[in-house]
Amino acid sequence: AGAARIYLVGRHPVRMEIARKVGADVLINDKTDDVEKIVMEDTEGVGVDIVLDMAGTQRAIDLGFKLVRKGGRYSAFGVASGPVNWDLNNGVVFKGATIFGINGRLMFDTWFKVKNLLRYKKLDISPIVTHKLSLEEYEKGFELMMKRPKISGKVVLFPGGVPA
């Protein structure tokens, strides 16, 4: 089983294109589109089963809790730059939503699972990797990742040089 529809909310064209390549069904620009209206109309007012918050910004948190359906799941992956406020009653209590963070015993288990998926070529990450550099070029890698506007997906560093 899988998601019926995958919505990506973002603003960086490079990253939105990557999301399209890996299966996002609906791309919504949070600077120019009414995200809540689009998602709620498309889900007939129900909302989404799972929110994966990769940003951790106040705006993303507010939006995520508005969009998660009753009994849905909110997974917080984004790290906030400081304290955030959220509407506990409407976002969680009255919806019966469940909140998950990324740390804990499962994080390391997930790394091992993904390592094996990659090793046995069961997971194709090539659409998200936009740059491959030798470990010695780490400064260039960080520059690419920090550049605004975003021009890169994931930058992979290889000890001993980039494989052929």
Start-end of H helices in the chain: 13-21, 35-42, 58-67, 88, 105-119, 138-146
pLDDT of residue 2: 58
Whether the per-residue pLDDT at 1 is higher than 70: the answer is no
CA end-to-end span of the chain, whole Å? 36
C-alpha angle with apex 156: 154 to 158, nearest 5 degrees?
Answer: 180
Task: Residues 7-100: name the CATH superfamily.
Answer: NAD(P)-binding Rossmann-like Domain (3.40.50.720)
- Domains in the chain: boundaries: 7-100, 128-164
**What is the pLDDT, as a whole number, of residue 50?**
96
22 burial (CB, 10 Å; 0-12 / 13-18 / 19+) is: middle
Chain mean position to CA 15 = 10
Whether the per-residue pLDDT at 155 is higher than 80: the answer is yes
87-98: b or e for each residue (b if 16 or more CB lie within 10 Å)?
A: eeeebbeebebe
Q: What rounded mean pLDDT belongs to the chain?
A: 91
Predicted structure pTM score: 0.79
pLDDT tens track for 20-69: 999 999 999 999 999 999 999 999 999 999 999 999 999 999 999 999 99
Cβ-based neighbours of 40, under 8 Å, separated by 6 or more = 46, 47, 67
**What mean pLDDT do residues 95-123 have?**
85
Percent of the chain whose pLDDT exceeds 70: 96
Helix, strand, coil percentages (3-state) for the chain, rounded to 5, are 35, 25, 40
